[in-house]
Structure 1
Amino acid sequence: MDVRRLHAWNLTPREAIALQKELRAQLVETPLDVAAVRLVAGVDVSVKDGLSRAAVVVCALPDFSVVEVARATVPTPFPYVPGLLTFREGPALVEAFARLRAEPDVFLFDGIGIAHPRRIGIAAHMGLLLDRPGIGCGKTRLCGFHDEPDAGKGAWTWLYDHVRDPAASPRRRAGGERPVEAIGAVVRTRAGVSPMFISPGHRADIPTAVAMTLRCTTRYRLPEPIRLAHKTAALPET
């Protein structure tokens, strides 16, 4: 499938941060038609021994039958810097996406969407390059604060952070403190286990990102397409 070439990858951390701030303005927040999704791709990258191994597993709904698997392995081009995961894993993902013949309706990433200090994690950044809906399904919180959701599967609460742009309209105020905005959701994808941190990337919004994630969740904590991609990325490319 086509991948937009919006920028070079050989950047310094300072240049990468500046690029994130520039790309953030291009993100589109709009409801995703969850019921219309037929093909969903799970995306994950394994970084080990100086190599980044990317896996994209395309599944058909509702049974998660595997339609296609695309993989790529490249030398890891960027150091580990919190908030700059895209630049460590992105080049391998671009290679894998370019090998896809299928056209997924939505991509689920093992990572973050807008629930990011600069509101552009890997699901948002890659969603821009693909110009497709992307959803970040993080196992840990990168920023923000929240109430704990109830213990049952499907329960969720809003994930908030302080407004970074003084000109932005806050979605609520907490006790006269700095204005805050919703940046994602804290979702119980399996009863009694730690929640996932779900946030839209590009061409989705928070409620429909949650709905899409839950539609792709079976009996595991990870959504099924991401679980399949995680297993695939851990294997060396043959």
Structure 2
Amino acid sequence: MEPARPAFVPDPSASRETMETLQREIAATATFSDDFGFDPAAVSTADTHTLDAITDDRTATSPSHDDQPIVVGVDQAFLDDRAVGAIVAFRGGEVIERAHAVVDLEFPYVPGLLSFREAGAILAAFERLDVEPDLAVFDGSGRIHYREAGLATHMGVTLDLPAVGVAKGLLCGAPQRSLDDLSEGTRVAITADDSVETADDTDTVIGYALQTRQYDSGNRYINPVYVSAGHRVGSETAADLVERLCNGYKLPEPTRLADSYADEVKRDHDD
């Protein structure tokens, strides 16, 4: 899979001002509403046999394996001066392809500009992917970003691929209630604040804190994940999809598998 918008491929040699200007252009190009060709209800971590087994209404038809959307999880790892891009293609309960690339790092760690550090390996891995994904789930932010152009948005727009970002920490924005002691399944809207320079107003919902797992006991606590639209997916749908893709773990299954695969590639190259 190659970039549909080559002009948005990050240039790690560009000035910071040029990078931030490009991010504003990406945010202006991004579609933060549903614009995809699959049924969100067909996104699942269950294979078709499991779907058949849990269907209560036997007149209802579960999607065939070929009708289930292909979801790819995308993650990164780092090897000294190299970056690993790892992609796991996932359909229902089955991994159907994995692809990776290892490239030289050309840009340092700068909060808000991570796509310029990580995109080279990710785009190279997408070029090696044979299947055509319906949805990409990135380990990183989408619209929850200072210029609404986090990794998921930058890559989603560049590839013109429906994309969602799932981050472990909150980069910016204002939660609309306390995030302490949330019960499993709770979602809290994250709205734009003064740090989000491209938002139309401070009431704009740029994502959700989603409590995908929680301990029954109050002695231990799991933090929420931060879900945001990347491209061609609305904020609420993004949270719905991530919730459907969690399989008893905090992280959605595609990115959890991609994280494991990135570590595997890293170990192989370390050896």
Taking structure 1 as the reference length, the TM-score comes to 0.89
**Residue number among 6, 17, 22 corresponding to 2:20 in the alignment:** 17
Deviation per CA, 1:144-174: give whole Å up to 9, x if none. 1212356332210101122656993x4xxxx
SS, match of residue 180 in structure 1: coil
List alignment gaps of at least 5 residues for structure 2.
44-68, 216-221
Rounded Cα–Cα distance in structure 2 between residues aligned with 1:105 and 1:167: 27
Indicate yes or no: 2:188 matched with 1:148. no
1:167-205 Cα offsets, whole Å, 9 max, x none, are 93x4xxxxxxxx432110000011241100000010001
- What is the alpha-carbon distance in structure 2 between the residues aligned to residue 69 and residue 134 of structure 1? 18
Separation in structure 2 between the aligned mates of residue 91 and residue 199 of structure 1, nearest angstrom: 22
Partner of 2:57: none
1:6 aligns with 2:7: yes
What CA distance in whole angstroms lies between the structure 2 residues aligned with 1:130 and 1:35?
Answer: 24
Asked if 2 retains the 8 angstrom alpha-carbon contact of 1:144 and 1:161, the reply is yes
* Residue of structure 2 equivalent to 1:202: 231
- Within a 5 Å distance, the mapping from 1:70-89 to structure 2 comes to 70-89=99-118
Query: Number of paired residues?
Result: 227
Residue type at the aligned position of 1:43:
V
2:189 maps to amino acid:
W
For the 8 Å contact 2:167–2:225, the answer to whether it is kept is yes
State the distance in 1 between where 2:84 and 2:41 align: 32
Aligned-partner Cα distance in 1 for 2:197–2:190: 17
Aligned to 2:32: 29
Which of the pair is proportionally richer in helix?
A: 2
Residue of structure 2 in register with 1:44 after alignment: 75
Change (3 A) 1:167 1:220: closer
Q: Distance in 1 between matches of 2:124 and 2:2?
A: 11
- After superposition, the C-alpha distances for 1:93-150 in whole angstroms (9 at most, x for unaligned) are 1100011111111000000000001100000000011111100000000001212356
Partner SS, residue 206 of structure 2: strand
Partners of 1:167 and 1:216 in 2: CA distance: 29
Per the alignment, in what secondary structure is the counterpart of residue 30 of structure 2? coil
Question: Structure 1: how far apart are the matches of 2:162 and 2:172?
Answer: 22
- Could you report, residue by residue, the CA deviation over 1:32-51 in whole angstroms, capped at 9, with x for unpaired residues? 54125421000001123011
Counterpart secondary structure, 2:188: strand
1:68-111: per-residue Cα shift (whole Å, max 9, x none)? 00100001111111000000000111100011111111000000
Asked which structure has the greater CA Rg, the reply is 2
Does the residue aligned with 2:29 lie in a helix, a strand or coil?
A: coil
| TM-superposed deviation, 1:6 | 1.9
Tell me how far apart the structure 2 counterparts of residues 112 and 14 of structure 1 sit (CA, whole Å). 21
For the residues of structure 1 that align with 2:151 and 2:239, how far apart are their CA atoms?
17
Name the one with the larger strand percent. Answer: 1
Aligned residues of 1:148 and 1:186 also touching (Cα < 8 A): no
Q: What is residue 245 of structure 2 aligned with on the other side?
A: 216
